[in-house]
Amino acid sequence: MVASHPSPSDFVADKADLMSAGTWVTLTVWLVDPAYQTLEMFAPDGAPYRLLATHAGDDSVNAPPFDAQSLDLAPLWRR
């Protein structure tokens, strides 16, 4: 699993670099964006990675590889 928090100054470029084919050998990529309070989950499906789900705000997430445990997103957005 790869979890990333791209820099606010160049989110699009950071995301493109992270999602480039061949960059990672992993089953899951989570991108956390506190500015938009979102969690995006991707899985390899050729090139590029395929978006599995987007969660936002106060969602509670049960997702691979941690689907046995619920993750509340609200604490991630607190400053």
User: Domain limits of the chain?
Assistant: 2-20+28-77
Contact, 57 vs 33, CB < 8 A? no
Condensed to tens digits (0 to 9), the pLDDT of residues 20-39 reads: 645 556 678 888 888 899 99
CA 57 to CA 77: how far, in whole Å? 8
> What pLDDT, on a 0 to 100 scale, did the predictor assign at position 79?
76
How many other CB atoms sit within 10 Å of the CB of residue 33?
A: 17
Phi/psi zone of residue 46: left (φ > 0), alpha (ψ -120 to 50 degrees), beta?
left
Asked whether the predicted pLDDT for residue 63 surpasses 70, the reply is yes
Residue 48 preceded by cis peptide, ω within 30: yes
> What pLDDT, on a 0 to 100 scale, did the predictor assign at position 23?
53
pTM confidence score:
0.67
Which listed CATH number (1.20.1440.230, 3.50.50.60, 3.90.1570.10, 3.30.70.360) goes with 2-20+28-77?
Answer: 3.90.1570.10
> What pLDDT, on a 0 to 100 scale, did the predictor assign at position 74?
94
Q: Give 26's DSSP letter.
A: -
